[in-house]
Amino acid sequence: MRCGNGIEARQVDELFINIDPIQAGGRLTADAMKAVIAYGDGYSVCDNCRKPNRLDYISKPPIAEFHKDVAAWLNMDTVRTVPGARRGFQAVAHTYVHKGDPVLLTSLSHYTEFLAIEETGGIAREIPVDADHKVTPEATATKIEEVKREFGRVPALAFIDHVDYQYGNMHDVKAIAKVAHGYDIPVLYNGAYTVGILPVDGKDLGVDFVVGSGHKSMAAPAPSGVLAVTAERAAEVFRTTTIVGDVTNRKFGIKEPEMMGCTLMGATLVGLMASFPHVKERVKHFDRELENNAIVMDALLAIEGTTCLSEYPRKHTMTRVDTTASFDTIAEAHRKRGFYFSSALGEKGITGLIPGATKIWKFNTYGTTKKQAMHLADAFIAVACENGLPLKK
Ligand SMILES: *Cc1c(COP(=O)(O)O)cnc(C)c1O
């Protein structure tokens, strides 16, 4: 099948078990696929936009209700949809960070958090992680004190990733937020790897902002995401426009500058909405996902020389392993070099690993069935055995 203009239909998740770390949680549900087709046209959600004209007020399709549902689900007060988690970071940073302001993030923070700070003229200050690649409340307090000494004031904002993208480790956001709030620093919870994957309760975590990624973790098309805030912060981040045209005297009502008025206007939003009931259900069964991850980890760790670089036992399905002393030892002499590994897995119906990577790599078992997890486990063991790698006794 072709889409025209040289575009072939993508058949990755149809033909393979895809364990790409960033793709597993974004795979569309059948309902989202229908929504993409039905709402693919430009501005298609605007058919029934009535006064006051703003995306989050539209009731057909039930966009207004969706906003309320997401806020309740995350236990926050106000929600807006955004074109990716990064645009949520940007709106918050732009509201609180001014030129020269220090901003707190961590040494495992995602590049999009850095860029959001850069755009405002802020200065990044990273909380160092401990030997286990974890961000601790103690290190947070120490870093804030350091920033105070350096800048004469505390950071304007803190970005804390609940589960980081490098190790998939889970950091104690609740305790970290408590420390930051002790200094009156607003806290943004980066839920790119958690919102839509496991239960998230913003009030319990004690954070000011919860950001989620639709295309990474909510089975939604890209670019999509959510920004949920407390009532106190809503008036700041979602302040309405005050600008006036000098010739026409025009004003723009309740449009919000940080949202550029309206955000997701078609397939992205309706896709996110269509998957939402499935997402709400799936977060309740994260334990099953961890069980499937454990099936695969047990197999990998049974191969002599393989180590898990992420915290272990796993608290998230996105995992970083080191196979320098196992799969990588085959690469040099193999006629396909390092590509033998992804190629052998491909033959067994597995995709999503960086081709050629045999040393340190990440995978995500999220969304696999138990049967698929067992197939993954068998496949890793089989590739090891085919290449003469020893298994642990
Ligand atoms: C993927 C990721 C992002 C970016 O998410 P988008 O929705 O693509 O903007 C931000 N932070 C972390 C930790 C991520 O893993």
pLDDT, one tens digit per residue, over 354-379 is 999 999 999 999 999 999 999 999 99
Q: Residue 120: in which H helix or E strand, if any?
A: helix 111-120
Strand, helix or coil for residue 345: helix
Question: Quick one: average pLDDT of 341-356?
Answer: 97
Q: What is the pLDDT of residue 157?
A: 99
Distance 221 CA to ligand 1 centre (A): 14
Strand, helix or coil for residue 4: strand
For ligand 1, say whether the CB of 316 is within 6 Å of any of its atoms. Answer: no
Question: Quick one: average pLDDT of 300-327?
Answer: 98
- Report which protein residue has its CA nearest ligand 1's atom 2: 192
pLDDT in tens, 327-336: 999 999 999 9
324 confidence band (pLDDT: 50, 70, 90): very high
387 confidence band (pLDDT: 50, 70, 90): very high
What's the rounded Cα separation, in Å, for the pair 291 and 300? 14
Best CA proximity match to 267, nearest among 72, 59, 28: 28
Q: Which residue has the tokens 């800048």?
A: 151
Query: Could you tell which of 20, 82, 112 is best to mutate to test the pocket of ligand 1, judged by most ligand atoms within 8 Å of the CB?
Result: 112
CB 315 within 8 A of CB 258: no
The per-residue pLDDT of the chain, averaged, comes to 98
DSSP assignment, residue 97? Answer: -
Measured in whole angstroms, the distance separating CA 86 from the mean position of its chain's CA atoms is 9
**All structural domains of the chain:** 12-22+285-386 (3.90.1150.10), 28-283 (3.40.640.10)
> Where are any strands of DSSP class E within 233-300?
none
Query: Is 276's pLDDT higher than 90?
Result: yes
Strand, helix or coil for residue 114: helix
What's the rounded Cα separation, in Å, for the pair 178 and 309? 28
Distance 214 CA to ligand 1 centre (A): 10
pLDDT in tens, 217-231: 999 999 999 999 999
pLDDT in tens, 102-160: 999 999 999 999 999 999 999 999 999 999 999 999 999 999 999 999 999 999 999 99
For ligand 1, say whether the CB of 171 is within 6 Å of any of its atoms. Answer: no
Distance 110 CA to ligand 1 centre (A): 7
For ligand 1, say whether the CB of 84 is within 6 Å of any of its atoms. Answer: yes
Q: Which residue has the tokens 């003229």?
A: 121
Distance 192 CA to ligand 1 centre (A): 5
Distance 193 CA to ligand 1 centre (A): 8
Q: Residue 214 CA: which ligand 1 atom is closest?
A: 7
Taking the CB of residue 205, how many other CB atoms lie within 10 A of it? 23
Distance 233 CA to ligand 1 centre (A): 22
CB 227 within 8 A of CB 252: no
- How do beta strands 158-161 and 187-190 pair? parallel
Taking the CB of residue 272, how many other CB atoms lie within 10 A of it? 27
- Report which protein residue has its CA nearest ligand 1's atom 8: 84
Q: What is the pLDDT of residue 253?
A: 96
Give one DSSP letter per residue of 145-212, joined into a string: HHHHHHHSS--S-EEEESB-TTT--B--HHHHHHHHHHTT--EEEE-TTTBTTB---HHHHT-SEEEE
127: exposed, middle or buried (Cβ count in 10 Å: 0-12, 13-18, 19+): buried
For a pLDDT cut of 90, what percent of the chain falls above it? 99
Q: Which residue has the tokens 């426009």?
A: 241
- Report which protein residue has its CA nearest ligand 1's atom 15: 165
| Spatial CB neighbours of 113, under 8 Å, sequence gap ≥ 6 | 89, 105, 159, 161, 190
pLDDT in tens, 5-38: 999 999 999 999 999 999 999 999 999 999 999 9
For ligand 1, say whether the CB of 216 is within 6 Å of any of its atoms. Answer: yes
Q: What is the pLDDT of residue 393?
A: 84
What's the rounded Cα separation, in Å, for the pair 215 and 28? 9
Buried-exposed string 318-351: b where 16+ CB fall within 10 A, e elsewhere: bbbbbbeebbbbbbeebeeebbbbbebbeeeebb
For ligand 1, say whether the CB of 213 is within 6 Å of any of its atoms. Answer: yes
Q: Which residue has the tokens 């695969």?
A: 296
Q: What is the pLDDT of residue 1?
A: 78
Distance 252 CA to ligand 1 centre (A): 31
Distance 23 CA to ligand 1 centre (A): 11
Q: What is the pLDDT of residue 108?
A: 98
pLDDT in tens, 173-201: 999 999 999 999 999 999 999 999 999 99
Q: What is the pLDDT of residue 373?
A: 98
For ligand 1, say whether the CB of 85 is within 6 Å of any of its atoms. Answer: yes
Q: Residue 87 CA: which ligand 1 atom is closest?
A: 9
Q: pTM for the whole thing?
A: 0.97
Buried-exposed string 279-294: b where 16+ CB fall within 10 A, e elsewhere: beebbeebeebbebbb
Q: Residue 161 CA: which ligand 1 atom is closest?
A: 13
Distance 243 CA to ligand 1 centre (A): 32
For ligand 1, say whether the CB of 263 is within 6 Å of any of its atoms. Answer: no
